[in-house]
């Protein structure tokens, strides 16, 4: 098992990609804490799945855009596990619309959760990871952050910002044995993409060289590797999991 005796925290771990990452981490031997926004049923289901694998699980309701809440919940994670080896900034939301009609509140909400949320989390675990001179930070960005996407200016800006954040943190922490990488999924089957209109979905699948959407587990498999000791010399990297969409 690649993550034996590791302690991990996944934001947005109750559904979709974050849940798959949490479960795959647990299957690989890690104890897992996750944050969620408010869907209690999903959180309890994810928690049960992780504990059924024989791992410890801490499910905490915590809005990543709220720095005070992040501080409080992160302290609980450190108290429960005594350390944190792996941080995955996965929590994300969409509020799509064309620039001309986009409400400022929708722009801010997406930046606050998808970009500033990661900044809040990294700040909480920066010193604890530095002190133990090891750690793995993964930021879930998107192909939208690499290529842009009409109707997603807020989301693409946040995801592109996450890449700059990843590379800067990677440079700040590299000498301390801490790596920071970004994973850029394409179209993955989750609640987020289930909300897409059928026509948009068909067009998206048509543009993917592999002609299918990805499964959350296909993103999680890369995260397990990047979080493991096997990925010790990889930092500041952005890796796509997109069936060839953005090559």
Q: Which CB sits closer to ligand NDP, 84 or 140?
A: 140
Q: Is 139 in the site for ligand NDP (CB under 6 A)?
A: no
- How far apart are alpha carbons 205 and 5 in whole angstroms? 39
Size of the site for ligand NDP (CB under 6 A): 32
Residue that the structure tokens 């791992």 belong to: 55
Q: Is 181 in the site for ligand NDP (CB under 6 A)?
A: no
CB 33 within 8 A of CB 9: yes
**117, 163, 174 from 169: Cα distances, Å:** 14, 10, 8
Annotated active-site residue in 107, 126, 155, 233 = 155
- How far apart are alpha carbons 58 and 70 in whole angstroms? 14
Q: Which CB sits closer to ligand NDP, 7 or 17?
A: 17
* Shortest reach from residue 110's CB to ligand NDP, in Å: 9
Of these, 53, 78, 147, 192, which contacts ligand NDP (CB under 6 A)? Answer: 192
* Shortest reach from residue 192's CB to ligand NDP, in Å: 3
- How far apart are alpha carbons 173 and 14 in whole angstroms? 29
Q: Is 185 in the site for ligand NDP (CB under 6 A)?
A: yes
Q: Is 243 in the site for ligand NDP (CB under 6 A)?
A: no
**Is 126 annotated as catalytic?**
no
- How far apart are alpha carbons 138 and 161 in whole angstroms? 14
* Shortest reach from residue 5's CB to ligand NDP, in Å: 26
Other CB atoms within 10 A of residue 244 CB: 12
């Amino acid at each position: 098992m690649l993550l034996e005796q590791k302690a991990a925290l996944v934001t947005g771990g109750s559904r979709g990609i974050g849940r798959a990452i949490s479960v795959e981490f647990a299957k690989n031997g890690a104890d897992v804490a996750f944050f969620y926004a408010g869907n209690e049923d999903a959180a309890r289901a994810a928690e049960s799945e992780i504990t059924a694998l024989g791992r410890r699980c801490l499910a905490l309701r915590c809005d990543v855009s709220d720095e005070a809440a992040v501080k409080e919940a992160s302290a609980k994670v450190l108290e429960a596990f005594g350390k944190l080896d792996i941080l995955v900034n996965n929590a994300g939301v969409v509020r799509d619309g064309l620039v001309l009609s986009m409400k400022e509140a929708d722009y801010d909400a997406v930046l606050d959760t998808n970009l500033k949320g990661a900044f809040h989390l990294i700040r909480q675990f920066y010193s604890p990871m530095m002190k133990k001179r090891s750690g793995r930070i993964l930021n879930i960005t998107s192909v939208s952050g690499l290529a842009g996407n009409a109707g997603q200016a807020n989301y693409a800006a946040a995801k592109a910002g996450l890449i700059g954040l990843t590379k800067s943190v990677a440079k700040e922490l590299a000498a301390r044995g801490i790596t920071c990488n970004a994973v850029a999924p394409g179209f993955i089957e989750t609640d987020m993409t289930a909300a897409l209109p059928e026509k948009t979905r068909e067009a998206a699948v048509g543009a993917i060289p592999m002609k299918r959407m990805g499964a959350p587990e296909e993103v999680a498999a890369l995260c397990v590797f990047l979080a493991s000791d096997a990925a010790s010399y990889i930092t500041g990297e952005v890796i796509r999991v997109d069936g060839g969409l953005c090559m």
